[in-house]
């Protein structure tokens, strides 16, 4: 461990580093070195900062599993040389990417902090400076020479969250994220305060494993009143489909119509895993609580419990990539592996 924390800033794109194209009026990404020139303050932080940028920074709407692997590889290649990592990322899909990175890094013992902003760094009223500076401070925070944060987090507008518990809730307010089912791990005010008892710790005598096999033969199926047989059938019959994140009503309820239940059964018989997550902003799936979810339970549908859709999607890609055997898949999915669900 170095005395002064050594932090790697990884720039992937997003509003934080965008400028306005005055011809079209649209925001687009620009050179990262220019971005750093807008924040001379970072030279006064008590850490050594190096930065690296994706070859082509992107709006996070263009993020995908291949680019998640690229980000993971940058962290992996630099893991021993740095004490912490700050990833600058567009806010639109930050919860997806950061959830995926959390599953990809097993036995993490250093901080990986995702952040971004709602306004570009050059804007007078920007939220980018606070988000970036505080994220670097969080990644540098140590107790007795050891990092305080040993998990993948998302920092935005004074709150530090466990990344795989977050969801983007607002497209224009500075408070763009929330963590509906898990309290923040830290807050920034006059002081930086951490809820240390909540922070995930690596297992003793464990070493870092980076899991890079992700299988994206999956779909999100959002149930709505009036959903037709043709729609459900065409989704569940997609060639090569291996998993479905099914967003149901309330505590995991869905229509009880015969055709619907039969289509789900046919999919399960074809070894497609179906995960039940709630489309509510917060709360838990409890299959069997209502008549409208008993059938789902009997079919062997997997309970996402209080997982977010973003995290369920990332966990499904990860577990499919790891080729978890069929007889174990349900219990592995229903068990927390990176603090992403609350177990009963
Ligand atoms: N469209 C942008 C992105 O996600 C929005 C942002 O950065 O906040 O890349």
User: What confidence tens digit (pLDDT) does each residue in 86-110 have?
Assistant: 999 999 999 999 999 999 999 999 9
Q: What is the rounded distance in angstroms from the CA atom of residue 76 to the CA atom of residue 49?
A: 17
Query: What pLDDT score was predicted for residue 28?
Result: 75
Question: Does 76 share its domain with 196?
Answer: yes
Confidence of residue 220 (pLDDT cuts 50, 70, 90): very high
Confidence of residue 23 (pLDDT cuts 50, 70, 90): confident
Helix axis angle, 94-104 relative to 309-321, nearest 10°? 40
Question: Does 162 share its domain with 64?
Answer: yes
Q: What are the two backbone dihedrals, phi and then psi, of residue 253, each rounded to the nearest 5 degrees? A: -100, 150
Question: Does 272 share its domain with 177?
Answer: no
Confidence of residue 41 (pLDDT cuts 50, 70, 90): confident
Question: Does 13 share its domain with 153?
Answer: yes
Question: Does 128 share its domain with 103?
Answer: yes
Span from the CA of 234 to the centroid of ligand 1 (angstroms): 32
Active-site residue flag, 178: no
Q: What is the rounded distance in angstroms from the CA atom of residue 57 to the CA atom of residue 312?
A: 26
The finding on whether 90 has its CB within 6 A of some atom of ligand 1 is: yes
The finding on whether 178 has its CB within 6 A of some atom of ligand 1 is: no
The finding on whether 92 has its CB within 6 A of some atom of ligand 1 is: yes
Question: Does 162 share its domain with 260?
Answer: no
| pTM of the shown model | 0.95
Query: Which SS3 state, helix, strand or coil, does residue 65 take?
Result: helix
Query: What pLDDT score was predicted for residue 99?
Result: 98
Query: What pLDDT score was predicted for residue 25?
Result: 82
Q: How confident is the model over 120-131, as pLDDT tens digits?
A: 887 889 999 999
Q: What is the rounded distance in angstroms from the CA atom of residue 135 to the CA atom of residue 143?
A: 17
In a domain, 124, yes or no: yes
Domain of residue 266, residue span: 218-333
pLDDT of 236 > 70? The answer is yes
Q: What is the mean pLDDT of residues 38-51?
A: 88
Contact, 212 vs 100, CB < 8 A? Answer: no
Q: What is the mean pLDDT of the chain?
A: 94
Q: How confident is the model over 284-323, as pLDDT tens digits?
A: 999 999 888 899 999 999 999 999 999 999 999 999 999 9
Q: Which of 189, 210, 231 is the last residue of a domain?
A: 210
């Amino acid at each position: 461990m170095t005395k002064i924390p050594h932090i790697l800033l990884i720039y992937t794109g997003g509003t934080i580093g965008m400028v306005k194209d005055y011809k079209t009026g649209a925001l687009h990404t620009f050179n990262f070195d220019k971005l750093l020139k807008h924040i001379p303050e970072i030279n006064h932080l008590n850490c050594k900062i190096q930065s690296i940028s994706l070859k082509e920074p992107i709006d996070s709407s263009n993020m995908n599993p291949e680019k998640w692997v690229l980000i993971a590889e940058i962290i992996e290649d630099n893991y021993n040389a740095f004490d912490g990592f700050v990833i600058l990322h567009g806010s639109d899909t930050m919860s997806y990417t950061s959830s995926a990175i959390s599953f990809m890094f097993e036995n993490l013992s250093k901080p990986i902090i995702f952040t971004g902003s709602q306004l570009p760094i050059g804007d007078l009223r920007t939220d980018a400076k606070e988000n970036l500076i505080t994220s670097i401070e969080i990644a540098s925070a140590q107790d007795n020479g050891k990092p305080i944060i040993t998990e993948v987090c998302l920092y935005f507008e004074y709150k530090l969250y466990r990344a795989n518990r977050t969801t983007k809730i607002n497209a224009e307010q500075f408070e763009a994220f929330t963590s509906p089912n898990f309290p923040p791990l830290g807050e920034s005010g006059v002081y930086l305060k951490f809820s240390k008892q909540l922070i995930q710790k690596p297992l003793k005598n464990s070493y870092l494993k980076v899991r890079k096999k992700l299988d994206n033969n999956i779909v999100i199926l959002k149930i709505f009143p009036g959903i037709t047989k043709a729609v459900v059938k065409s989704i569940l019959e997609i060639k090569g489909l291996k998993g479905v994140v099914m967003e149901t009503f309330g505590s995991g309820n869905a229509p009880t119509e015969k055709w619907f239940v039969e289509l789900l059964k046919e999919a399960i018989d074809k070894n497609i895993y179906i995960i039940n997550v709630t489309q509510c902003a917060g709360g838990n799936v409890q299959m069997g609580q209502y008549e409208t979810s008993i059938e789902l339970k009997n079919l062997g549908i997997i309970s996402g419990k209080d997982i977010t859709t973003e995290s369920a999607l990332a966990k499904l890609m990860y577990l499919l990539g790891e080729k978890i055997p069929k007889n174990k898949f349900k219990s592995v999915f229903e068990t927390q592996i990176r603090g992403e669900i609350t177990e009963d």
